[in-house]
Structure 1
């Protein structure tokens, strides 16, 4: 029998958490058979991550694609890594210059609690983009990458041509799901998530965040390895995000680059109402709600997600 990267204890803890999560029951009828369950087919990733030293940290990133095409930079979401973009990466490789970054403290990049703020992450992103000599970058940044991209273009000497963001915090007050509210407001629940560890954290996210996609064993193994022993610092990111949004929310109307806002229709972590309110606040934005998708819409409907990204970087971002 293939090895289960979540394990029996991780699955038990994740199931216990879902029992007290109302969104899990609300989405039950919308989930396809096998959604979130690990498949054990052989994975053949197109993306080939490597490591570099930057700012005193060992950082995982990837490059590829067509060097003279538009530059697309993917930022890792939580509790995943840059590998979650592999299907999109494979398609865009023929036409775009591709870069992906596991943000400090996320994925398999080093980074301690000092990096668990939007400001610290955007300062690092500025260094990374300068290190690689990137310009006119289209930044694709769902989930925890979203406030990093926003902070970067709002407060840094940025090199972005556009940003594509969703499923993360920005507008206040944020329409958060029950698990996010627990991590923001409760030291007890942050302790529970820390003690149950990466397998339960990822197992629960898979059950709640996917409505159709079935991640591979190799993919989930990468995520569990990435967050082993690191859930404690990650919960601090949630604790601090309402404060971090004070650097973003008041400045949204001043953002003068194109923004593609995208969100899953049935996001159980941060609801799609956030997407609509964000779109209304931005001077140059387009809105895409992925139908019948959860929080991990970029995998639930990777074909349409890839089409949206490809169209955007090939002229769709030229908003009036």
Structure 2
């Protein structure tokens, strides 16, 4: 389905019935990353997932977006489709950072929160400036002659070092620079909602110590670190993740 929000054609899926759970994907990803989780949750919940501006089937924003802007856009989207009470937000990677920013500021409101390999910790950003410059150059490399799988592997290697999920499209580079420089770890202390925090032990983009820092900041939180899982922990350990989330939401 498509709805116009703040002038942006926004692709989304709403399915199931019951309390509303909103799923926010990470940078360079789309709502499809939650196909498996949505299938599991829709048996007991109304599951809403959208392609954030610039990703998936949604139009790109004409202005530079920040985490705050993505949070405000999410609130406007939910208002547009008539979702007034949100039982839980669930964010993966940059989607988790958007959730934290929105809930801490009061732009978003929910009863519970689930963070999956959440980004938003940038204390070592200065040390990654060289990698950021490399990433900017990588976006302009003539990789289009390479097989698609090889292109994505090269881009993941570069952008994984700075905590992004895939790569930066040229029209989103200013937004990327804005988002990657934001740190929400201090704001996480303002999260009052019961929070489930899930990280993969093998995650190199948003390592498990990020989860430990968020767990320290969020008073009502429970941290689970899953072995043999990486940044896409909801794919690598899907059964365990789905079970943990369903038990938490009850």
Give TM class, smaller chain.
0.7 to 0.9
Aligned equivalents of 2:140 and 2:186: distance in 1? 32
Distance in structure 1 (CA, Å) of the matches to 2:129 and 2:122: 17
1:86 aligns with one of 32, 35, 41: 35
1:105 maps to 54
Q: Which residue of 2 aligns with 1:231?
A: 169
- Structure 1 residues without counterparts, runs of 5 or longer: 1-49, 210-223, 315-320
Distance of 1:201 and 1:236 partners within structure 2:
22
Of the three residues 16, 36, 45, the one matched with 1:65 is 16
Shift of the alpha carbon at 1:238?
4.1
Instruction: Give 1:97 shift.
Output: 0.9
Counterpart mapping for 1:23-34 below 5 A? none
- Higher relative helix content: 1
What secondary structure, in the 3-state scheme, does the structure 2 residue paired with 1:244 have? coil
How far has the Cα of 1:207 moved from its partner?
8.1
Pick aligned residue for 2:123 from 173, 189, 204 = 173
Give the C-alpha shift of residue 73 in structure 1. 0.8
Distance 1:122-1:85 versus aligned 2 partners, 3 A rule: same
Distance 1:53 1:183 in 2: 38
Matching of residue 193 in structure 1 with residue 129 in structure 2? no
Structure (1 or 2) with the larger CA radius of gyration: 1
> What is the aligned counterpart of 1:288 among 202, 224, 227?
224
> Partner of 1:275 in structure 2?
211
Aligned residue pairs, count: 239
Alpha-carbon distance in 1 for matches of 2:75, 2:67? 12
Please report the RMSD computed on the Cα atoms of aligned residues, expressed in angstroms: 3.0
Q: Which runs of 4+ in 1 moved over 6 A?
A: 205-209
Instruction: Give CA-to-partner distance per residue, 1:184-209, whole Å, 9 cap, x none.
Output: 631x4312134347945634477899
Q: Is this contact kept in 2: 1:64–1:93, CA < 8 A?
A: yes
Of 116, 120, 138, the match for 2:65 = 116
Higher relative contact order (CA 8 A, sep 6+): 1
Larger deviation, residues 103-112 vs 163-172: 163-172
Change (3 A) 1:250 1:113: farther
Q: Which residue of 1 aligns with 2:178?
A: 240
Cα distance, 1:264–1:231 mapped onto 2, change above 3 Å: same
**Cα distance in 2 for residues equivalent to 1:127 and 1:262:** 27
- Is 1:56 matched up with 2:15? no
Once residues 24 and 194 of structure 2 are traced to their aligned partners in structure 1, the CA distance between those partners, rounded to angstroms, is 18
Stretch moving more, 128-137 or 56-65:
128-137
**Pick aligned residue for 1:308 from 230, 236, 244:** 244
1:95 equivalenced with 2:31 (yes/no) = no
- Structure 2 stretches of 5 or more lacking a match? 160-165
Could you tell me whether the CA contact under 8 Å between 1:167 and 1:270 is conserved in 2?
yes
Shift of 1:133: 2.6
Deviation at 1:70, TM superposition (A): 2.2
1:146 aligned onto 2:96: yes
Q: 1:5-20 maps to which residues of 2 (within 5 A)?
A: none
Query: Displacement, 1:131?
Result: 1.6
Task: Tell me the CA shift for residue 98 of structure 1.
Answer: 0.9
User: Hey, what's the Cα distance between the residues in 1 that align with 2:8 and 2:130?
Assistant: 27
Q: Distance in 1 between matches of 2:155 and 2:208?
A: 17
